Amino acid sequence: MKRILLVFLGVAMAVTVVYAQSQVLSRNAVGYVRVDMLRGNYALVRLDFENISGANGGCLAVSNVLNDVPTNTLVYLWDYVNQTYKSPIQKSARGTWGSGGSNLICRGDAVFVKIAGDVASNSNPVYIMGEVPDRFTAPTTEVFNLKAGMNMVGYAYPVELPFLSTALSSNIPNSSLLYVFNPVITNYDTPYQKSARGAWDAVTTNLIMRPGMGVWVRTTQLWNYVEGKPYTWP
């Protein structure tokens, strides 16, 4: 797992996003993204939501984000400093996460998830839940950052939109690369590239960022960018 998993990790997922008004008298709107994962396979997914309690700077523990995955599921987090994977976190056969489950995932972060190959169902719906970013947790814009090297990230709001409509695409340094898995060929597409002159490949026009969809971004420098919230409610 110390190599970049851009060739041999297969991903299969279909995504649905739902918002629901909280049943308590508060400003919170709870939402979830459904990701259908194949047994024995990997999925690169991202967190679109906030911690509804406001704790941990809005970040959520792995055990909360992926609470309903089958037993023996593995989760891989990325070590940005050393540019390698951290030790895998496993949901045990008893349904517990152990100390690794307390690792935090923040909105806009992506992780690899592998469903065990011996689960009963071939397709396993996984629900990633949290508080929909609102006028308090994400008033109008949000500042995000990328490290020099490889980054596992995604669009940080639970909506679907063209990649070229994001600040991630317009402000990322020139010569950066974006990797997206193609389930049709069970491999990654040829990397999308932003040229040295600042223009994306023509095929990037067709790239859609879906709720819960993680991607790899490769940059040559530390970089901060501001992503606008694409909706007004909540």
pLDDT of residue 137: 83
- Render pLDDT for 67-111 as a digit per residue (tens, 0 to 9): 989 999 999 999 999 999 999 999 999 999 988 999 999 999 999
Integer Rg of the chain from CA: 17
pLDDT value, residue 169: 96
Look over the chain and give the mean of its residue pLDDT values, rounded to a whole number: 86
Query: Would you tell me how many other CB atoms lie within 10 Å of the CB of residue 221?
Result: 11
Residues 6+ apart with CB under 8 A from 234: 27, 28, 29, 132, 134, 135
**Distance of alpha carbon 72 from alpha carbon 90, whole angstroms:** 6
**Per-residue pLDDT, 208:** 95
- Report the C-alpha gap between 59 and 39 in whole angstroms: 27
Measured CA to CA, the distance from residue 104 to residue 59 in angstroms comes to: 6
Strand 110-114: give its sheet, edge to edge.
Answer: 42-46, 110-114, 74-76, 89-90
Whole-model pTM: value is 0.87
Position 5 pLDDT exceeds 70: no
Beta-sheet strands, E only, within 78-137:
78-79, 84-85, 89-90, 104-105, 110-114, 123-131
Query: Distance (Å, rounded) from C-alpha 112 to C-alpha 105?
Result: 12
In tens, the pLDDT along 28-56 reads 788 999 998 888 888 889 999 999 888 99
- HSE toward the beta carbon, residue 149, CA cutoff 13 A: 10
Which pLDDT band, with edges at 50, 70 and 90, does 1 fall under? very low
Q: What confidence tier does 27 reach under pLDDT thresholds 50, 70, 90?
A: low
Query: Span 153-178, mean pLDDT?
Result: 95
